[in-house]
Amino acid sequence: MTDLLKNKREITRLQILVEVAENQPAVSQKEVADAIGITPQAVSDYMSSLVEEGFVNKRRRGRYEITKEGADVVLSHAQSLEAYVDHVMQEVVGNVFVDTAVADDDVQAGDVVSLSMRDGFLRASSVGGDGETEPPRARAVTDASEGEDVGVTEFDGLIEFERGTVTVVRVPSVEDGGSRAVDESTLAETVGDKPVYALGTEAVVALEKTGVGYRRHAVAEAVVEASHNGVSSTVVAVEGRVGSLTDELSAEGVEYETLDTTTGQK
């Protein structure tokens, strides 16, 4: 552990320096105290020491600014903390955290595996016990035959894949014709072979007429999760629920397009 984290006084001094640097030249002792959760008197004591050491300059009306020397202290501590965080994430958490992948071939515990994303699943391909492979890679912690689930840990590198998109197919409300206004052949062609979800009774009835399989619960959550795992999907939604769905997709950064089931046009 970095020495900074062992010394509460140094942590507080660093917090004060950061607050001064971030808000100068108009920061007061009370503002610093409120920001870091200690009393103004405690801040005053720390400020006196920091001014004496040349890390902070006191301006008129009880305002403060950081000096070059103070900025160097912040930078030094920040670099120390960054190294510690890297150690925790890469060498501690990475070695403890175990995720589940689908084995693309036979894998033995201890094997170095190559990682990829396909069909919404993390995939692991064995390259041998201590074989060399380019990132992204991990190490298997369980045996697995091809197609079985395998535990992987000691991750190295980022897995690159394209996020899935969502096609939102509008169905008129019952007042405007509902499922009767839907071109069934157009709807069946539009949904294709992607996972299909139904949002609203009119949408369910329209899909029932086409014979297309669908899911109807937790639709927004399901398609967002699918997108984040690289799977594209289709949502057949009654007109009145399209807006809330697309708002949620936008908020989650999911790309989508909307189509009209009566014409097949955007």
Q: What is the CATH number of the domain that holds 177?
A: 3.40.1010.10
pLDDT at 207: 92
Residues 122 and 62 in one domain: no
Determine the distance from the C-alpha atom of residue 120 to the mean position of all C-alpha atoms in its chain, rounded to a whole number: 16
Sequence-distant (6+) residues with CB within 8 A of 45 are none
Residues 42 and 112 in one domain: no
Residues 7 and 89 in one domain: yes
pLDDT at 264: 44
Place of tokens 């084995």: 103
Residues 174 and 250 in one domain: yes
pLDDT at 183: 84
Q: List strand residue ranges (DSSP E) for 99-156, in order.
A: 99-103, 112-118, 121-126, 137-140, 149-156
pTM score: 0.54
Please tell me the total count of domains within the chain: 3
Given 41, 67, 93, which residue is the final one in a domain?
93
Residues of the domain holding 101: 97-156
pLDDT at 167: 93
pLDDT at 163: 86
Helix, coil or strand: residue 99: strand
Does residue 143 lie within any of the structural domains?
A: yes
pLDDT at 202: 94
Does residue 240 lie within any of the structural domains?
A: yes
pLDDT at 11: 87
pLDDT at 60: 76
Contact of 109 with 126, CB cutoff 8 Å: no
Residues 48 and 73 in one domain: yes
pLDDT at 265: 46
Contact of 190 with 258, CB cutoff 8 Å: no
**Which residues in the chain land under pLDDT 50?**
129, 263-266
Residues 82 and 124 in one domain: no
d(CA 8, CA 242): 53
Residues 171 and 250 in one domain: yes
pLDDT at 189: 85
Residues 89 and 101 in one domain: no
Residues 179 and 256 in one domain: yes
pLDDT at 95: 54
Residues 173 and 141 in one domain: no
Does residue 161 lie within any of the structural domains?
A: no
Given 93, 114, 138, which residue is the final one in a domain?
93
Place of tokens 């509460």: 8
pLDDT at 262: 63
Residue type, 241: R
Residues 188 and 205 in one domain: yes
- The CATH number that applies at residue 16 is 1.10.10.10
